[in-house]
A and B are shown apart, each in its own frame.
Chain A
Amino acid sequence: MNRVALVLLLTVMMTAFLFVSLLVGTVPLTAGTAVRALFGVALDPRHVVIVQDIRLPRAILGAMVGASLGLSGAVLQGLLRNPLAEPGLTGTSSCAGLGAVIALYFGWSAAFPLALPLAAMGMAGVGTLLLFLVAGRNAGTLTLILTGVALSSLAVALTSLAMNLSPNPYALSEMVMWLLGSLHDRSFVDVTLALPFAAAGWLILATTGRGLDALSLGEETAASLGIRVQRLRLLAIIGTALAVGAAVATTGSVGFVGLVVPHLLRPLVRYQPSHLLLPSALGGAILVVLADIAVRVIPSSSELMLGVLTSLVGIPFFLALILKLQWSER
C-alpha cells in the first residue's frame, strides 16, 4: 500500500474511533446529542459535562497512550532487530509503573505533581538502559525476553513492596490497576500532566527513522553510512522512556500494543523501519481507543481492565510470532 494512503487511512480510522468513543458510556447519548455536546451547544448542560469533561479526556488519553506504546514498540523492534521487543515485554512499562508508585506512595507527587510522570519516565529510562546493558546490542530473542521478564518481575515485586510499605488499605486493587491499566475516570488533569512529555518522546523517536533503516542492514553497514549507533540507541532509550513513562504514569501498563501494532503494519510498509513509525503510532492509538470502547460496552459487574483486552488480543500474536521465529531459526 502507498505510504501516504496508509497514513491517511489510519488517521481516518483513528478519528472515527475517537468519535465512537465519545458515544460510549453509562448514559446513552445519540450521535447528534454527542456532537452538539462536544461543541458545547447541547440542550442539556449535563450532556456537555459528560462529553467534554468525562469522555473526551478519556479518548484523548487513550489515543496518547496507544500512540506512545505503538511507536515505542516499532522503534525498539528496529533498534534490537527483534520483532518481540515491546515496552511491556522489555520491562519498560513495569519499570515506569514502579517509578510512578514510588512517587505516589512516598508523597512526592502530592508535594509536586510533576514528580509522578518524572519518576515514571526516570525509571522507564533506567529499565531500558539495564535491558541494553544486560542483553547487549545483538541480543538473541531468548536473551532479550528473559532479560525483559527479569526486569519486569523485579519492577513488579518492588512496586508491590512499595505499596505494602505505604499506608494504603487498597494495595491489592491498586496493584491490579498498575498491572492491567485503565482509563476509567481520567480527566484533562491527566492529559495535561502526561501529554507534553509523551509528545516530546514522540518527537525524539521520530528522529530515529533513518538510523533504524540503516541499522537493519547491520551495525557496521550503518556506521559506514554515517549513523552514530550509540547516539541512535540513546535517543531511542530517552524517547521510549518519555513516551512510555508518561503513558504508564496516568494509565498503568497496557500490554502488547507495541507488539501487535508494528507486527500487523510491517508488511504494509514493505518492512522498512522508518516507514513503520508513524503508522505504528496511529495504529497503537486505534487499538487502545478501541479496547477502551470495548471495556465500556462489554457488560460486566465492574469495568474491565484495559490490559485484559489488549492481552487477549496480543498474546495469540505473541505466540504466533514465537512459532514463526522458531521456524525461521531452524
Chain B
Amino acid sequence: MPARPGSTTNGGGPRPVLRIASILAVVAVAAAAKAEPSSRPTIASIDLCADQAVVALADPGSIAGLSRWARDVNLSPVAPVAGNLPSLAESAESVLMSGASTVVADTYGDAKTFALLDRIGVTIFRMPAADSFAEVFVALRLIARDLHEEAKERILEADLSTRLDRLQASLPPQRPRAAYVRADGGTAGDGTAVDAALAAAGYRNLATDLGIHGWGRLDLETLVMSPPDVFVTSSFSSRRWSLHDAFGRHPVFRDMEARVPTVVVPARLWSCGGWPLVQAAETLAAARREPR
C-alpha cells in the first residue's frame, strides 16, 4: 500500500533505476568518446520531450546538443548524460552554431524559429505529443524512422513493453483512488500521460472519475466530499509560496494531505509523455506494495 505521509516514495525499486541507468550509461560512454572525428554530430534537440527520444535513439556521437532544460535534474530524465553535451537555446542561432543538420522538437515551440531553421536548410522532425503508452511508442517509432534508428527503437520498445506487462501481472486486485494534485490545484484527467501512468499502476484516477478531460483543476469542495485514497504529487515542495498556489496552502487541503498518504513521482518521469513514463508507472505501483 502507499507510503505514509512524510515518508515519500522516490524512484521506485532498484530494478527500474538500473534500467534507466543502463540506457544512459551506454550513451554517456559514447558521448565521452565523441571527440573521435569518425561521426560528426548532426542531430540537435531543442525541447525536453525531444531530448528523451534523441538520447534514447540517436547514436551518441551524432548528438550536437540538447535543450537548455536537459541538464535540469528535476525536469529531465537524461540529465546524467546532458552534462557532456552542448546545451542549446530554443533559437535558430544556437542550432546553427551547434552544426546540427537535423533538429528534433515537439509539436509546440515557436513556429517562426522552425520556419527560419527550414529556410537555412535544417531538417526538422516534429515529435507528436504522447498521452498514453501506445502514443509513446508511436512517437518513438516516428523519430526512429526519421533518424534511421529503427533497430534501436525495437529493442527499447520491447524492453518497455516487457516492463509494462510485468507491472500488470504484479498488481494487487484492489484499485485505490488516486488524486494527482499540483500546488495550484491543477490535476490531470482522462487523456493525459499522468492518467496513463496511474491506470498502468492499477489506480483509479479521481480526476477522470470526476469527468475531467485533459489538464484541469481539482475543486476543494469536491475533494472534501470524495477524498482520494492516495495523493500523487510531483515536486510539490520546490515551488515557492505564491498567490497561484492558494489551493496547496489551504488548511482544508493541508489537513487532508496530513491524513491521506502521498506518493511522490519525480517530475522528470512524466514531464513529457516519453519512455520514462514506464518508470513513473513502476514508481506508482511500487508505492502500492510498500507496507503501511
Q: Which residues on A are within 8 Å of B, measured CB to CB? A: 25-27, 46, 49-50, 53-54, 100, 104-105, 107, 109-110, 166-168, 170, 173-174, 177-178, 184-190, 252, 302
Contact = CB atoms under 8 A, between A and B. Distances in A.
B241 A170 contact: no
B251 A170 contact: no
7 contacts: A27-B221, A27-B225, A50-B221, A168-B240, A170-B244, A186-B246, A187-B246
Contacts of B224: 27, 46, 49-50, 54
B246 A53 contact: no
Given A46-B224, A46-B225, A50-B224, A174 B250 contact: no
Interface string B160-189: 000000000000000000000000110000
Given A53-B251, A185-B185, A168 B242 contact: yes
B249 interface: yes
Contact of B241 (A104, A167, A173): A104
Given A186-B246, A187-B249, A187-B250, A110 B240 contact: yes
Given A49-B224, A53-B252, A185 B240 contact: no
A131 B236 CA distance: 41
A53 B251 CA distance: 8
A75 B195 CA distance: 53
Given A26-B222, A185-B185, A189-B249, A110 B241 contact: yes
Contacts of A168: 240, 242
A33 B251 CA distance: 22
B114 interface: no
Contact of B251 (A166, A178, A187): A187
Interface in B234-255: 240-244, 246-247, 249-252
Among B184, B185, B221, B249, the one with the most A-chain Cβ atoms within 10 Å of its Cβ is B221
Contacts of B249: 187, 189
Contacts of A109: 241
A184 B218 CA distance: 12
Contact of B240 (A46, A54, A105, A188): A105
Contacts of B147: none
A40 B220 CA distance: 19
A322 B217 CA distance: 40
Nearest to A176: B244
Given A27-B222, A46-B224, A46-B225, A107 B240 contact: yes
A54 B250 CA distance: 9
B213 to A, nearest CB: 11
B219 interface: yes
B250 A25 contact: no
A47 B279 CA distance: 39
A69 B80 CA distance: 53
Contact of B242 (A104, A184, A187): A104
Contacts of A54: 220-221, 224, 250, 252
Contacts of A177: 243-244
A6 to B, nearest CB: 35
A185 B250 contact: yes
Among B219, B246, B252, the one with the most A-chain Cβ atoms within 10 Å of its Cβ is B246
A170 B184 contact: yes
A190 B184 CA distance: 16
Contacts of B240: 104-105, 107, 110, 166-168
B211 to A, nearest CB: 12
Nearest to B182: A170
A186 B248 CA distance: 10
Contacts of B247: 185
A174 B186 CA distance: 13
Given A189-B250, A189-B251, 19 more contacts: A25-B221, A27-B222, A49-B224, A53-B251, A54-B220, A100-B243, A104-B240, A104-B243, A105-B240, A105-B242, A109-B241, A170-B184, A170-B242, A174-B242, A174-B244, A177-B244, A185-B250, A189-B249, A302-B217
A224 B67 CA distance: 71
Contacts of B219: 26
B227 to A, nearest CB: 9
B252 A187 contact: yes
Among A49, A105, A168, A190, the one with the most B-chain Cβ atoms within 10 Å of its Cβ is A49
Contacts of A178: 243
A167 B69 CA distance: 13
Interface string B251-283: 110000000000000000000000000000000
Contacts of A100: 243
Interface string B183-222: 0110000000000000000000000000000000101111
Contacts of A190: 246
B251 A173 contact: no
A231 B220 CA distance: 46
A185 B221 CA distance: 10
List the 8 closest pairs (A to B, CB-CB), nearest first. Answer: A185-B246, A27-B221, A174-B244, A185-B247, A26-B221, A26-B219, A187-B250, A53-B252
Nearest to B247: A185
Nearest to B246: A185
A16 B250 CA distance: 26
A167 B75 CA distance: 14
Nearest to B244: A174
A31 to B, nearest CB: 17
A109 B252 CA distance: 21
Contacts of A25: 221
A252 B243 CA distance: 8
Among A50, A109, A184, A185, the one with the most B-chain Cβ atoms within 10 Å of its Cβ is A185
A277 B89 CA distance: 56
